[in-house]
Structure 1
Amino acid sequence: MRGTYRNSEGPIELKGRVALVTGAAHRVGRDIALGLAREGMHLVIHYHTSAEAAQRTLADVRALGVAAIALQADHSRAPDVQALFAQVAAHFGRLDVLVNSAAIMERKPLLDITEADWDRVLGINLKGPFLCAQAAARLMLAQPEGGAIVNIADLSGLRPWPSYAHHSVSKAGLIMLTRVLALALAPTVRVNAVAPGPVAKPIGWSDKRWQALGARLPLRRTGSGQDVAEAVVFLLKSDYITGEVLVVDGGRSLV
């Protein structure tokens, strides 16, 4: 991935590179994995409990003509992460891209959030990406081409959402982690984040409610996981961008 990212001519070529996408079994993570596969990247499909969905994503990725494997791990536990990246290194011999997409989002009044709630959300949304970035960096720093990391943040990390306190804090932390990693790992590894807005209909929402939300946005529509995937590809190909947060929200943060 051109470790120093200097004297480049045109965008970085992703074809033939290896990417690990956490939480790639479904929703936005799946869309990101498919988007990278369409660019010719070989994929590691990470999942925790969604084994069947991961196998479907794996089949769809392989159908695009690239190599891919699906690996299970609880990415909030250091031993699992160490084993995950050891398997990646053993199978592909390298890692060029990490996309930290695995996350959970829970709505709960501030005073009802328990210690267990807090630890679970922060563990999955912040501790996990840290552990994965740390493990990925060790592989990337050891290869001449370096690598790139993209963290999937959220608008809630930029704006306070009172009913999602633990989620907002976890995503704000992920944004700061992005900036810290960008400085700590430069110039060999670039690190950026994408902060999506309404790109995946929340569980329990009706189509009517989802469409009504889109109608209130400046672009008059909700987005999709493909919009996030395209943003990830843009950041991976742009070798003079690091430490940035790309908001993909149809203008929601403006209103």
Structure 2
Amino acid sequence: MNQASTPLQDMGSLQGRVAIVTGSGKNIGKAIALALARSGANVVINGHSDMAAVEAVVEEARSLGVQAMGIKADVGDEAQVRAMVEQAQQQLGKVDIAVSNVSLRLKQPFLEISPADWQRVINFNLNSAFYLARSVIPGMKAAGFGRIIHISGVDGFAGHLPGRVHNIACKAAVHAMTKALTTEFAEFGITANTVAPGHIDTERDWSQYGPRDSWTESRRQHIPMKKIGRVDDVAEACVYLAGDGAGFVSGQAIHVNGGHYMF
């Protein structure tokens, strides 16, 4: 069952900032974009297929009193990512916050992963984060401020599921990128951090997970808090990392998993 979502408090802490959130037409990406909007940030909503969902999020963000725009872009394509960032800069003036959220989670035994399958997941889950960071960092460096947030997952730290080698490799790699970007760009006021969700209640392709009720119950039993997380739990972590209060936090991973894994 979907859990009730508690509205995030509007603190206005990101007033005047501009954020891009990839894959923000639904689920965690949508929650992150709207949480940033509630805190005052103007937002770019991105999707590559369901633009009706993207535009719905744009309207919801605008109702919160901020500027919002929707951009269709395949984030696995460097030219489209670069064009998206340029469009955001032209219309909103800059990009202060970049959240790389997209993820393709295929369930395939290792020996059934073709080179094409491998490349597809690497491109979508890892290269997309590189393309976004590469496109926004020059402007952030010039401004002396930037927030890069990578959405990883338990997979990248625990390697706990079979049939997920390509996704596990990508999720681990985006956090490695977080650390490398910190080493190179922290002196310019740019922080880079990772948010790693645990088991979160989202819309998903249940053919990849099994029956929803049994999936939920089996996961809940192993979480010390005895509940599945909300998309807003992940979003709140991102709002914190995007703000001035996290200005001395970089190269870190925030695990939003109810204590299921403690790294």
Deviation at 1:208, TM superposition (A): 4.2
Whole-Å separation in 2 of the counterparts to 1:224 and 1:105? 19
In terms of mean alpha carbon deviation, does 212-221 or 31-40 score higher?
Answer: 212-221
Q: Which residue of 2 aligns with 1:149?
A: 148
- Cα–Cα, structure 1 residues 173 and 12, in superposed 2: closer, same or farther, change >3 Å? farther
Query: Is the 1:12–1:236 contact (alpha carbons within 8 Å) kept by the matching residues of 2?
Result: no
Whole-Å separation in 2 of the counterparts to 1:12 and 1:181? 27
One-letter identity of the residue aligned with 1:203: D
Deviation at 1:251, TM superposition (A): 1.4
Identity %: 32
One-letter identity of the residue aligned with 1:149: I
Whole-Å separation in 1 of the counterparts to 2:175 and 2:111? 25
Q: Which residue of 1 aligns with 2:5?
A: none
Whole-Å separation in 1 of the counterparts to 2:12 and 2:251? 18
Q: Which residue of 2 aligns with 1:210?
A: 216
Q: Does 1:253 align with 2:255?
A: no
One-letter identity of the residue aligned with 1:99: V
Q: Pairwise CA RMSD of aligned residues?
A: 1.7
SS at match of 1:105: coil
Q: Does 1:110 align with 2:103?
A: no
Deviation at 1:80, TM superposition (A): 0.8
Whole-Å separation in 1 of the counterparts to 2:37 and 2:237? 15
Deviation at 1:74, TM superposition (A): 1.1
Whole-Å separation in 2 of the counterparts to 1:211 and 1:51? 33
Query: Is the 1:12–1:239 contact (alpha carbons within 8 Å) kept by the matching residues of 2?
Result: no
Cα deviation code 1:85-130 (max 9, x no counterpart): 1101110111110011111111111111111111111101100100
Higher RCO, Cα 8 Å, sep 6+: 1
In terms of mean alpha carbon deviation, does 11-20 or 151-160 score higher?
Answer: 11-20
**Structure 1: any 5+ residue segments left out of the alignment?**
1-10
Q: Which runs of 4+ in 1 moved over 4 A?
A: none
Q: Which residue of 2 aligns with 1:228?
A: 234
Q: Does 1:92 align with 2:100?
A: no
The aligned runs of 1:1-255 (5 Å cut-off) are 13-144=13-144, 146-160=145-159, 161-187=161-187, 188-201=189-202, 202-204=204-206, 205-237=211-243, 238-254=246-262
Query: Is the 2:46–2:54 contact (alpha carbons within 8 Å) kept by the matching residues of 1?
Result: yes
SS at match of 1:94: coil
Query: Is the 2:12–2:38 contact (alpha carbons within 8 Å) kept by the matching residues of 1?
Result: no
Whole-Å separation in 1 of the counterparts to 2:262 and 2:254? 14
SS at match of 2:175: helix
One-letter identity of the residue aligned with 1:240: F
One-letter identity of the residue aligned with 2:218: A
Deviation at 1:224, TM superposition (A): 1.2
Whole-Å separation in 2 of the counterparts to 1:190 and 1:128? 18
Whole-Å separation in 1 of the counterparts to 2:147 and 2:67? 19
One-letter identity of the residue aligned with 1:248: V
One-letter identity of the residue aligned with 2:258: G
In terms of mean alpha carbon deviation, does 195-204 or 164-173 score higher?
Answer: 195-204
How many residue pairs were aligned?
244
Whole-Å separation in 1 of the counterparts to 2:111 and 2:226? 35
Deviation at 1:167, TM superposition (A): 0.3
**Structure 2: any 5+ residue segments left out of the alignment?**
1-10
TM score, norm. by length of structure 1 = 0.91
SS at match of 1:163: coil
